[in-house]
Amino acid sequence: MMQKAMDYIKSNISEGQCVFANLMAAKGKEPFYSQFGFEVRPNEKVGAGMTQYIYYDKT
């Protein structure tokens, strides 16, 4: 499901556009989302907020 969501985002942005994607990861699940390019914004108590800039890529 995550791969489909990421593919959808990447295939629907145009040249010059950038998408700022955010998510909340359950504590301990951050590595799963990291494989899709998300970066950890830690919160020790409840898990990480994660973020990613997705830029247009013509390939």
pLDDT tens sequence across 5-59: 999 999 999 988 999 998 988 888 889 999 999 988 877 766 678 888 898 877 6
Measure the CA–CA gap between 57 and 23, rounded to whole angstroms. 22
Tokens 């898990």: give the residue: 47
Question: How many structural domains are present in the chain?
Answer: 1
Residue 51 makes CB contacts below 8 A (sequence gap 6+) with 20, 21, 22, 23, 38, 39, 41
- pLDDT at 46 (0 to 100): 63
Q: 32: domain range?
A: 2-55
| Burial class of residue 38, CB neighbours in 10 A (0-12, 13-18, 19+) | buried
- pLDDT at 59 (0 to 100): 64
- pLDDT at 36 (0 to 100): 94
